[in-house]
Amino acid sequence: MKRFGLVLIALGLIIAFSVPAAAVDVKFSGSFYAAGMYQDKTTVMKDSGCDGVSTAFYYQRLRVQTEFIVHPGLKLITRFDAMERAWGAPRSASMVYNSTTKTWVAAPEAPDSAGTFAENENIAFDEAYVHYVSPIGEFKVGYKEKALWGPDFANNGKPAGLLFWGKYFAPAYLYVWGQIVKINDNSYTAKNSTSPFTADRDNDEYQIGVHYYGIKNVEIAFMYDYARYASGKSGYTGWVLGPTGWVWSDYGYLNVAHIFEPYIRGKIGPVKFEAEVDYAVGDWIKYEGQHPYYYDMKLTNLQAYAKAIADFGFVYVGGIAAYVSGDDPGTTDKAEGGYLNGGREFKPCLVMFNSERNDWAGMITGYNAGSYVLNPKYTYGYVDAPMQNAWFFQLIAGVKPIDNLDIMATFSYANADKKPTAAWKYNDYGYEVDLTATYKITNNLSYMLGGGYLFTGKYYRGESDLHQVRDNYLFINKLTLTF
């Protein structure tokens, strides 16, 4: 499969660079924001002796995309983020200590970047790819964001090396595409002296999609994603003493998922709507041999989302309903939550499920917060992002008293789909009220002022009614420039 992917990439590059070059035009676009945030507390634990501190700081980010246009059908596109940091705050470490190998290693990449947190605090290139439009379709080859699909819900934008092909078939109103994505590669290179036992520990995704535009103002799309993550393979085999005696064991395991993602979005009269359903099935853990202590774990995750907004000019109203399945602690052979989530791009509230707040101020801790050993992606007991293990409902109302001013209020309720442990007491995350006002200073410059109040639910009491929780709130103001 790896050789097949390399051959396709080589063919794509040959096609892309077979076009005669002409004078190069350059286009720049991007954004800059600077924001200030005040968050009341960093925990919702009350009278615990560790109630958490308040926090207030400023932060910013510059994003620049450059297009080098050789001719209208051929361009090189790059994108970088720079100065993504809190003003005057301590910088991130470029190296971290690995307690297993007892060595210092490079820090991991940021969740939305091809660079580390430390690199983004200076400058980190996330995208560099060729975009070529040919008679047989368009090709994109290089590093590019891989996971922006349909509505913001379930989108976790992450740059990765990929080979993309897509083509629009006009008579059928169809756009068909496919791509091969290299998430992680462990082959032997000058920078990676891997052993023969671990050379195949690659993480890859193979995706195909189709979009239908035959209905006026409506888009219907479907994507299939085959994700094969082999980073858990160790290649070690041998006799291991288990609870029932010595067994021949292979500690290596695979994580394999088949993901089906249809969505629809469009406009009927004054109403804009969108909906998406995502379903993942496969193996969370599939051991290649017998393991003395652990067993295979199946994967069945489901999530769904719907949003509708009716815009009457001066006023608009609407709502959101979303569901992300949670992991049932009673089924140790199955992972029902943790693989799929609501996505970093989906930020319905200022406090709950807001990845920007989470990135800059951190998770807000409740009682008995933690994560599962065999399912570390599945955390619990935090006011966290992206959305997971949740039923979520939101009412939206807004007014535009003048052309440049948008005032919006939301009322949200969320509760957990599953209690994370058998001793957990309650399901309700709580209610949140948010109010924001965005003023468009110019066509490219806007200023937002907002506040959110979380009426904290009993879910964060954890495993004891003796635990008490407190409400939380934040204020934010943000200046955004686009160009």
Give CA–CA dist 203/232, Å, rounded: 10
Cβ atoms 427, 452 nearer than 8 A = no
Cβ atoms 101, 58 nearer than 8 A = no
Torsional class of 73: left (φ above 0), alpha (ψ -120 to 50), beta (otherwise): alpha
253's tokens:
């395991």
CA 79 to chain centre: 18
Give CA–CA dist 278/324, Å, rounded: 9
Give CA–CA dist 162/259, Å, rounded: 18
Q: What is the DSSP string of 8-32?
A: HHHHHHHHHTTSPP-PPEEEEEEEE
Residue 385: which residues within 8 A CB-CB, separation 6 or more? 342, 344, 347, 352, 353, 354, 355, 357, 358
Q: What is the pLDDT along the chain (483 residues), one digit of tens a residue?
A: 454 454 444 545 444 445 444 468 999 999 999 999 999 999 999 987 777 899 999 999 999 999 999 999 999 999 999 999 999 999 999 888 877 667 788 888 898 999 999 999 999 999 999 999 999 999 999 999 987 899 999 999 899 999 999 999 999 999 999 999 999 888 888 877 766 666 678 899 999 999 999 999 999 999 999 999 987 776 555 555 555 555 555 567 789 999 999 999 999 999 999 999 999 999 988 877 666 566 788 999 999 999 999 999 999 999 999 999 999 988 888 999 999 999 999 999 999 999 999 999 999 999 999 987 767 778 899 999 999 999 999 999 999 999 999 999 999 999 999 999 999 999 999 999 999 999 999 999 999 999 999 999 999 999 999 999 999 999 999 999 999
Distances (CA, A) of 175 to 148, 209, 230, 324: 16, 8, 31, 29
If you compute the radius of gyration of the chain from its CA atoms, what whole number of angstroms results?
Answer: 24
451's tokens:
């506040």
- 107 by Cβ neighbours in 10 Å (0-12 / 13-18 / 19+) ranks as middle
Name the pTM for this structure. 0.89
Give CA–CA dist 187/199, Å, rounded: 5
51's tokens:
């109630």
Residue 416: which residues within 8 A CB-CB, separation 6 or more? 326, 389, 390, 391, 427, 428, 429, 459
Give CA–CA dist 173/216, Å, rounded: 11
